[in-house]
Chains A and B, each alone.
Chain A
Amino acid sequence: MTIIHNRSLDDIAETGPTLGGNAVTRAFSGGSIGRLIGMLALIAILGFLTIYPLAMLLYGSLHSTPPGLAGEFNLNGYRAIMTTQNFLVLINTVGISLAKTVPSLTIAVFLAWIIARTDTPFRGTLEVLITLPFFIPPILTAMAWGMLGNPQVGVINLVWRSISGSPDPLVNVYSYGGVVWHMCQYSIPFLFLFTVDAFRAMDPSLEESSRMCGASRWTTFRKITLLLMLPVLTSSFMLSFIRGIESFESPLFFGLPAGIKVITTDIYESINHRATPDYQYATSLSFAIMGLMFLLVIWQWALLRGKSFQTVTGKGFRPNVMELGPWRWVTFGFCVLFFIITVVLPVGQLLLGSFFRFFGFYTYEMLTLEHYRAVFSNSEFWRAVRNTMMLGLLGATATMALGAVVAYVSVRTRWRGRSLIDGMAWLPWMMPGMVLGVGFLWAFAMLPGPIPIYGTVWALLLAYLALGTPVAVRVMTGAYHQLSYDLEECSRVHGASWFQTMWRIMVALAWPAFAVGWVLTFFGIMRELSASILLYSVGSETLAVVLLKLWANGNAEQVSVIGLMMMLLVILFRWVQLRFIKARISKL
């Protein structure tokens, strides 16, 4: 099915005209040898970043001992995971992930539509505010929600009891609902960030045509707006669903007291809670899950194949902003309510608690600035900030550059091997973080001696590059799906070089997605612990490692101070992105 009759890839010849210029230009601009070299280079980079660590893990799943120890090849790991108990845990895990992904996506799409396509007041400010929870370390929001929603003395339940007189609590976060709710805190802003720019890049003439043909608003929304966003929606659904399967903090914090088991807790126990860590079991289970997840990717490929989703064409357009009249205050109220529940309540707890000696004990004599003093005078913290900022800036930029190239090749060319690199870029997302971290350790440490990666900051950078690539590719894929081929061709016809075309068309028009992806990747790096803890070396501690140390030592208030500072950084980045870069890049 072709949704709109723009030119699609099928109309474009597989081989373009041979161009002159230097080798790099040729590599990307259509020369068949150059193209081959470019593809091979991409495959080599992605192979090293994704296939190599996964191959080490595959070895671990097929060998009785981890790399470096004598043992034998067998299938004991895969045999061991085939139990009824594991099947039930898998069903439970899938159920939890679906229970959080479906409502999260619904709310995120609704919020994105409100922000991008309606005249809701203060939507520019709301756009930044409603995404804030995503950037706070999950353990902090878990602690805050524990204080708000525990059945005994949770603030919400105390208020409820005093109003209603009921002896029973209103909410209990230590339950399935609590696990799902805490996961939603992260998936809604994530999905919102993913979808909001796709709404912005929507050509309203398509919707207007639908309306003129007699379709209702609702039918138009379903059949035009949502269908046009299919690449973005399916990508974001899958990213969120897979991440839900791999979620660890929420089930551990809220699920364990309620006896809720998920796959990741089983993997964690097989590594940490057996006499000898059972890496064969952990990796086998992870690969089994990965196999199941890959079926989803294939489903998405089948769903999108042969369709065009271009909305940004050579014709000028402004995204239509729907005038809601008095209803705009309803949408405004919805956003504010969302902001209050997901941001003000938990972050308010963290902010308040950071000025008292202990969270939850808000008396005058407990007031202190000691936590701020302790953080600011902690030299290790500042060293970690320097390391993390450097890794974040470099890592996010490199990851987005790689993601943009992979997405470009995958979406906008017919080069042989494009599906392979698209698939390779998915792989790191499908492996639970705690297992993939071990894969990086094995991979980098086992490199031949002269290759100095393990024990250096490069190990961290390469791991972050691999971990961020799936999101980078998905973000850019969604954006590139929406750009018409006419634009590129028009640029080339007017004499622009390949790089000029890339910069003025593919970068300038896809920059909002690039910027969102950059922020997601940057903060992904700031929060990443599983690989960091296995790869950092003395002196190259990252912020996540320092947070772990503080948390492990019971300094939850200091962790909150750092969490709040990270949030301020997000606000700053988003402000720069929405105000400064927007103004500069639109002049390109």
Chain B
Amino acid sequence: MTSNRSMTAAAIRQWSRRCFLTAAGGIAVAAAAWQPVQAQDAEWDKVIGAAKKEGTVVLYTALVGQPSTKKIAEAFTEEYGIAVEVLEARASEIRERVRVEQAAGRFAADVMFTSEGQTRLYDAEDKSIDPLPVTPNSRKIKPQFKLQVPMASVMTIPYGIMVNTGLVKPADEPKSWKDLVDPKWQGKILADDPRAIGAGYLWFFSTYDRIGEDYLKKVAGQKLVFTRDQRESQRRTARGEYSIYMPVILTDMSDLKGLPVKFIIPEEGVGYVLYGNVLLKKAPHPNAAKLYLDFLQGPTAQKIYASLGYGPVIDGVTEGLPADIKAISEAKLYGTSDSRRQNEMLAKAKEIFK
């Protein structure tokens, strides 16, 4: 009995020792892992503190007139007390402004909101942007949006097909990009011009790569009518000038509620443009800029974009959205353009769509 007790006591002591050693080892490992995180957090806290002292961030955006810009700026100001000054202009204009400002030594802007393609030009040609900082939220974005170019991905703009419901019966609606070659649509499609940079070119590029040149030649045989004004073209189609308008910015669906139009997500998926932020060289408010970059990849900004139908770059922000918005926001991404092949593909588009 005694020996049993002593055996039991020895076993308990032995177990306790193991338990202690295991626990101690665990804590040591956890502490070792926790220390850099703690250090990173402390480092980031310093960025936040410095950003608040800077008080302002100057944002240049190539996405003109989007209400989301103001919403997000207000949310950022509310969270950090830092004002966001926004200057908007079209892509080529804003790019030339940044290039000339930097060449003249006038460093006025901190952050530029632009597309992946433009970022490549900023980086390779103009050398006007800095490498991206690693921020807490930048680690959480989906792998497909971690880019080689120094752009902090923020959202995707999805492009699909729009039909006039007065002219197109539900049974006849095109379901996919391939359906556009159906002879019944000949002369009835209004299209954004694929021979110039824009939505039409994006559609041309992605379907050329994914479906092939023959498909595009068949579409050219449909006698498309080209325009370069996205919003006015939507109205023209709604008024009954054409049965189909493509490619349409799917997020405009909410603005056109009440008109006889339907927005269709093609079966293959949506063409898309990836937008994000870049950090401009010698930014006058570098910490506020870093904080803004991080904020745009965080849940608050991502939820705002998702609620408008844009594709978020992090998971878990589309829950609870209305079904139609959720469908657009989560639409499968089919293809985009590549600025490195721009001249080649524009020439190809001009050759096919004479």
Contact = CB atoms under 8 A, between A and B. Distances in A.
Interface of A: 66-69, 143, 146-147, 150, 152-153, 174, 252-253, 256-257, 269, 271-277, 357-361, 366, 438, 441-442, 445-447, 449, 454-455, 533-534, 536-539, 545, 548-556
Contact of B236 (A146, A445, A538): A146
Interface string B61-88: 0001111000000000000000001111
A153 B99 CA distance: 46
Nearest to B100: A445
B350 to A, nearest CB: 10
B353 to A, nearest CB: 10
Contacts of A152: 240-242
Of B95, B226, B239, B340, most buried by chain A (CB within 10 Å of CB) is B239
A556 B241 contact: no
B171 interface: no
Interface string B252-272: 100110110000000000000
Contacts of B340: 275
A134 to B, nearest CB: 22
A275 B227 contact: no
Contacts of B232: 143, 146, 556
B96 A553 contact: no
Contacts of B87: 536-538
A77 B90 CA distance: 24
Which has the most chain A C-beta neighbours within 10 Å: B103, B256, B346? Answer: B103
B255 A68 contact: no
A553 B66 contact: yes
A174 B241 CA distance: 12
Given A146-B236, A152-B240, A153-B239, A441 B343 contact: no
Given A66-B99, A438-B96, A551-B231, 17 more contacts: A68-B103, A69-B103, A153-B240, A257-B227, A272-B91, A275-B121, A276-B125, A357-B258, A358-B235, A358-B258, A366-B258, A441-B96, A445-B103, A445-B106, A552-B65, A553-B231, A554-B230
24 contacts: A66-B96, A68-B99, A150-B236, A152-B240, A153-B241, A256-B228, A273-B197, A275-B121, A357-B258, A442-B100, A445-B100, A445-B106, A446-B104, A449-B106, A454-B106, A455-B106, A533-B90, A537-B108, A538-B87, A539-B85, A553-B66, A553-B231, A554-B255, A556-B231
B327 interface: no
A358 B259 contact: yes
A553 B100 contact: no
A271 B99 CA distance: 14
A274 B343 contact: yes
A550 B64 CA distance: 9
Contacts, number: 137
A350 to B, nearest CB: 14
A275 B340 CA distance: 7
Contacts of A361: 238-239, 258-259
Contacts of A275: 121, 339-340, 342-343
Contact of A257 (B195, B225, B239): B225
B55 to A, nearest CB: 14
B97 interface: yes
Q: Which of B92, B193, B242 has the most CB atoms of chain A within a 10 A radius of its CB?
A: B92
Nearest to B188: A152
B196 interface: yes
B241 A274 contact: no
B121 A276 contact: yes
Residue in A147, A150, A275 with the greatest tally of chain B CB atoms within 10 Å: A275
Nearest to A253: B229
Given A257-B225, A441-B100, A445-B104, A269 B196 contact: yes
B143 interface: no
Given A445-B104, A553-B231, A548 B64 contact: yes
Contacts of A449: 104-106
A538 B231 contact: no
Contacts of A445: 100-101, 103-104, 106
A23 B235 CA distance: 62
Most chain A CB neighbours (cut-off 10 Å) among B65, B101, B105: B65
A438 B85 CA distance: 23
Given A272-B196, A554-B252, A67 B227 contact: no
